[in-house]
Structure 1
């Protein structure tokens, strides 16, 4: 398995002035690459805005990544409420991914920020996402990219029945699973069991830990996310289940909120993977 890290938090965080994101994107991206390379990560990913920032500058992005002995493998793709526009937008992102040698696309539904955070299953909405994912996944497969659905809190595909409905209505040739250990746990599922259940369709994996205190951060439960080894996720069980199902691909660490800073979070998680998981 290859160990990766996500770069979006070097751009989007609680202390950086949002007006500087687009004007200083090369600086933030370079700092991200320098730090994760120094810690021994092998591959990187980012949110889709990177494709907008580096449009027409793909060779420069590749040079930055290679300078630090890394490769860029995954770009996110966010659904909107307009499937036709999403198809056209996906075409652009797929073209960008081909130019930079990426092989995975994480798909995610529209995320709401108002309460209730967890809502009853919207069957038609989930089936709409399945149809869209099949179309995007087919386009990805034609150029050697795996389209992976990322179940995520505050979206239509989060709880187990929602995940099951989505996966049962997508084509295994075109749509894979991106498991996120913290979101899986937040949804009330056992991470190793989830890995076992979807192991044969697993295309990509996000690793992050979570505070077991269900009463922490009721204002925004995703603030419970932690560096690996700080919370309650059974990562040994996750890795064992994945290996039993034949998954031998990328394990990508991600953390939305930093206890100290990005470097410290990435360092603690890499040490845990190396010293506890033996990877």
Structure 2
């Protein structure tokens, strides 16, 4: 007598999308990247409904033009992205707000609901040169927390967006220890987390455990996986993040870790609507490489129930 296979879970609280990053886009302009119109054509053809803006200036920054270009392809915008160095304190506030405001204005005009905030890198993405100490001082942690809360209030008041802070390799918010310290230091009503499953695994974290422990703080998901063999080499050699990506450390699901079905199911169990944006770091990559991967990834996520 055969044992019936369990039914695929219904993950109806997750809104699946993709991002320019999955097409090898890291910069507003770069000759190694596909043109913006090709990204929009292919992300729609691959079966995604939601997208992120990517680096400001890659997609058209005229809200009317971008609204027309996305609408005619059946696409909607979930979020914009900014980098910040708020651990440096009030001295960097004005410069930070200047770049945040332009991204938030465009995202808000496209009816997005979130702003993904990535802390600045502590070492150069290409050379591995240390730009500042790897660990923050107690005072810098206080600046980081206070600055994020201030940013969250102003972004919400002026643009109606919620910020979600993205733990990221080679930044000061990376490992479980640092992520938990940041969450414990910030107001949960103001500051949520963008849990990137690949970056968190890259830094040794367990996404399912974090969702179960801090579920009320999870405001957004980035879906990616890490190749464990390449990651072991990266750790052994101290390779910085940029070269690690070129080495292929972020891989196509379901070939890496963490396993995504348990992550998706844990997120579904939170009982709230969440964006789950595929964001496979692939800079640089051949122009014909992203689309087949994006299409296969979308089919894989559907097989998981999303």
Coarse TM-score class (shorter-chain normalised):
0.7 to 0.9
Structure 1, unmatched stretches of 5+, are: 22-26
TM-score w.r.t. length of structure 1: 0.87
SS in 2 for 1:216: helix
| Separation in 2, partners of 1:244, 1:12 | 32
CA contact (8 A) 2:22 2:278 kept: no
Aligned to 1:39: 46
User: Is residue 2:64 matched to residue 1:59?
Assistant: yes
Residues 211 and 115 (structure 1), Cα distance of their counterparts in 2 relative to 1, 3 Å cut: farther
User: Is residue 2:7 matched to residue 1:3?
Assistant: no
User: How far 1:11 sits from its partner (Å)?
Assistant: 6.3
Between the two proteins, the alignment pairs up a number of residues equal to 270
Aligned to 1:261: 289
Structure 2, unmatched stretches of 5+, are: 1-13
User: How far 1:48 sits from its partner (Å)?
Assistant: 3.8
Q: Of 15, 25, 31, which aligns to 1:12?
A: 25
Indicate the larger mover: 252-261 or 236-245: 252-261
| Separation in 1, partners of 2:141, 2:293 | 34
Larger RCO: Structure 1 or Structure 2 (Cα < 8 Å, ≥ 6 residues apart)? 2
Indicate the larger mover: 133-142 or 213-222: 213-222
User: Is residue 2:197 matched to residue 1:184?
Assistant: no
SS in 2 for 1:49: coil
| Separation in 2, partners of 1:71, 1:241 | 25
User: How far 1:123 sits from its partner (Å)?
Assistant: 3.5
Q: Of 225, 246, 255, which aligns to 2:271?
A: 246
Cα distance per residue 1:218-268 (max 9 Å; x no partner): 434444111120112121111121122223221100111259711122122
Aligned to 2:156: 141
CA contact (8 A) 1:210 1:225 kept: yes
| Separation in 1, partners of 2:75, 2:25 | 21
Residues 191 and 116 (structure 1), Cα distance of their counterparts in 2 relative to 1, 3 Å cut: farther
User: How far 1:3 sits from its partner (Å)?
Assistant: 0.7
Residues 153 and 11 (structure 1), Cα distance of their counterparts in 2 relative to 1, 3 Å cut: closer
User: Is residue 2:78 matched to residue 1:73?
Assistant: yes
CA contact (8 A) 1:109 1:129 kept: no
SS in 1 for 2:163: strand
TM-score w.r.t. length of structure 2: 0.79
Query: C-alpha root-mean-square deviation of aligned residues, in Å?
Result: 2.7
User: How far 1:9 sits from its partner (Å)?
Assistant: 5.2
Q: Of 165, 168, 181, which aligns to 2:184?
A: 168
Residues 267 and 124 (structure 1), Cα distance of their counterparts in 2 relative to 1, 3 Å cut: farther
Q: Of 213, 223, 231, which aligns to 2:256?
A: 231
Indicate the larger mover: 222-231 or 68-77: 222-231
Greater Rg by CA: 2
| Separation in 2, partners of 1:122, 1:237 | 35
| Separation in 2, partners of 1:18, 1:28 | 9
CA contact (8 A) 1:126 1:156 kept: no
